[in-house]
Amino acid sequence: MIYLKTDEEIELLRENNLLVSATLAELAHHIAPGVTTLDLDKVAEEFIRSHGALPGFLGYNGFPNTLCISVNEQVVHGIPSSKTVLKEGDIVSVDCGTFMKGFYGDSAYTFAVGKIDPHTEALLRVTKEALYKGVAQAKPGNRIGDVGNAVQEHAERHGYSVVREMVGHGLGHKMHEDPQVPNYGARGRGPLLKPGMVICIEPMINLGSREIVFERDGWTVRTRDRKPAAHFEFAVAITSKGPDVLTDFGVIEKALNN
Q: Map the chain to HEC letters.
A: CCCCCCHHHHHHHHHHHHHHHHHHHHHHCCCCCCCEHHHHHHHHHHHHHHCCCEECCCCHHHCCCCEEEEECCEEECCCCCCCCECCCCCEEEEEEEEEECCEEEEEEEEEECCCCCHHHHHHHHHHHHHHHHHHHCCCCCCEHHHHHHHHHHHHHHCCCEECCCCCEEECCCCCCEEEEECCCCCCCCCCECCCCCEEEECCEEECCCCCEEECCCCCCEEECCCCCEEECEEEEEEECCEEEECCCHHHHHHHHCC
* Positions 46 through 65 that interact with Mg ion (CB under 5 A): none
* Region near Mg ion per CB under 5 A, out of 99-107, 146-154, 178-186, 211-219: 99-107
200 forms part of the interface with Mg ion (CB under 5 A): yes
| Cβ nearer to Mg ion, comparing 160 with 232 | 232
248 forms part of the interface with Mg ion (CB under 5 A): no
| Cβ nearer to Mg ion, comparing 104 with 160 | 104
7 to 46: interface string for Mg ion, x by CB under 5 A: ----------------------------------------
177 forms part of the interface with Mg ion (CB under 5 A): no
Interface pick for Mg ion out of 15, 73, 106, 177 (rule CB under 5 A): 106
167 forms part of the interface with Mg ion (CB under 5 A): no
95 forms part of the interface with Mg ion (CB under 5 A): yes
* Positions 219 through 238 that interact with Mg ion (CB under 5 A): 233
Residues that bind Mg ion (CB under 5 A): 95, 106, 108, 200, 233
